[in-house]
Amino acid sequence: MRDLKFKVMSWMILVGGVLAFLPGFLPFRTGKILIVEFALFTAIALLFIKNIWIRLFLLWCILRVILGINQYSQLSLHLLVFVLVFYQILTDKLNKDRVVHLLNIVCVIAILQTIMVILQRCGIWWTILPIGYKEAASISYFKNSLLPLFIFRPPINIDSIGGFVGDTNTASALLGMCLPAFFRKKWHWFIPLILIGFFIIHAFGGIVAGTVALIVFLIFKFGKRSLYGIIPTGLLFIAYFIRFENLQNIFISGSNRFEVWRFYIQHLIPKRWIIGWGLGQGEFLWPIIEKETSFKNVMYWHSHNEIITMTAELGLIGLVIICGYFFTTFKKLKDPVIICGLIACLTASLSIFTFHSAIGLILIVYMAIAHYQLLTNKEVSNV
């Protein structure tokens, strides 16, 4: 059966890729190149990607781009294919030592991010600097080089701090997504440092993701005794929430997100609820949102909710495929560290565009390890 699949697919992809063309819509050679791309991407999905749900997701994205192609959907598809190829390469190359190695890298990323955040909070900015602050620095070194150093006395506004990733929401989400990798022996001693990073960045989404992941881990690890850890964790979270967050802003407007989410759910998604508006089209829905709501002159072009954005772009079909992947993965996966990693990524994605930024690679690491563990039944929690 496997050999038959290979033969049928090789016929379809090679004959289609070489001879097929798009009649009428594009210049002939441009259409031929697109056909080759779609044929190769389909080959990757069918012959290379092993997880059935990820394979279906890639196939649906390819088909959705074909149904409404433009330069942005094409670029989004290219990036998706590269990321999923990286995911499959990781999965195929993993062993127990390499799993530990990957999780160690995730921890180092979080530590470096926190160190950069601390330096910025102290007024020391290396290379990365918010727009408009360059001339306000008290001291500057190598100002006209590629690696300038700026020192501010006193430190500039805390709301500008984002570490290596550029903004507070993404910075906080990164720490929340990395935190589960610290739920291992020896590495848990660095958790207080990561908490300092959370406190300095002061963005709610990543803190929620980290808190949810920690509570789930305590339940997995200690069962009924987890209450001794959950209660102080919950109290600490509540104390932070009351002291530092704007309660009305969170509950009434969702930090200005609720209106956008409501417009997506009530107006945009229902118009194309089966197939969506197209891969990579989420940010181009913003003119509609600005025109028909009070959400004017926004500073970002995403809904700050990956589930809503994905449903708008890929419709009910895309949503079902994604839910199928996570349902089957959580149902079979046993390792609390990786389960919490996936949960942290999903939780963070509810308030920030984690999968549309570089920090989405952390999710790919957890997904690759999850696939490896489902195949081998090996855990890393006690390593």
pLDDT confidence of residue 327: 95
Please give the residue range of the domain that contains residue 368: 94-121+168-376
When divided into structural domains, the chain yields a total of 1
Does residue 343 lie in a domain region?
Answer: yes
Is residue 116, in this structure, part of any structural domain at all? yes
State the DSSP string of 33-85. HHHHHHHHHHHHHHHT--SHHHHHHHHHHHHHHHHT--HHHHHHHHHHHHHHH
| CA 248 – CA 235 distance, rounded (Å) | 20
37 vs 57 pLDDT, higher one: 57
pLDDT number for residue 248:
62
Distance separating alpha carbons of residues 94 and 103, to the nearest angstrom: 12
Contact 357, 165 (CB under 8 A): yes
Report yes or no on 71 lying in a domain: no
Mean pLDDT value across residues 51-73: 92
Question: Tokens 């999968």 sit at which residue?
Answer: 355
Per-residue pLDDT reduced to its tens digit, 189-231: 999 999 999 988 888 888 999 999 999 998 888 777 777 677 8
Average pLDDT of the segment spanning 20-37: 80
Helix (H) or strand (E) holding 133: none
Q: What is the pLDDT of residue 250?
A: 64
Taking the C-alpha atoms of residue 138 and residue 177, their distance in angstroms, rounded to an integer, is 35
- The residue whose two tokens read 């409501």 is 262
The residue among 173, 195, 183, 185 whose CA lies nearest residue 336 is: 183
Residues in a beta bridge with 125 = 150
Pick the more confident residue, 352 or 366: 366
pLDDT above 90 (res 118): yes
Residue 82 reports pLDDT greater than 60: yes
- pLDDT band at residue 105 using 50, 70 and 90 as cut-offs: very high
Classify the phi-psi angles of 167: left when phi > 0, otherwise alpha if psi is within -120 to 50, otherwise beta.
beta
Q: What is the pTM of this model?
A: 0.89
Range with the lowest mean pLDDT among 19-28, 167-176, 335-344? 19-28
Q: Where do we find the tokens 């259409």?
A: 31
Residue 212 forms part of a structural domain: yes
**Residue closest to 177 by CA, chosen among 110, 104, 250:** 110
Angle at 20 between CA 17 and CA 24, to 5 degrees: 135
Task: Output b/e per residue, 82-111; b: 16+ Cβ within 10 A.
Answer: eebeebbebbeebeeeebeebbeebbebbb
Q: Tokens at residue 3, please?
A: 């050999």
In a domain, 238, yes or no: yes
Q: Is the pLDDT of residue 383 over 50?
A: no
- Beta-ladder partners of 151: 124, 139
Of 18-27, 54-63, 147-156, 288-297, the one with minimum mean pLDDT is: 288-297
Return the bridge partners of 28, or none. Answer: none
Confidence of residue 158 (pLDDT cuts 50, 70, 90): low
pLDDT band at 56 (very low <50, low <70, confident <90, very high): very high
Integer Cα distance of 219 and 214 in angstroms: 9
- Average pLDDT value over all residues in the chain: 86
**Using one digit for the tens of pLDDT, what is the confidence trace for 277-316?**
999 888 788 777 777 777 665 655 677 889 999 999 999 9
Do 168 and 206 form a contact (C-beta atoms < 8 A)? no
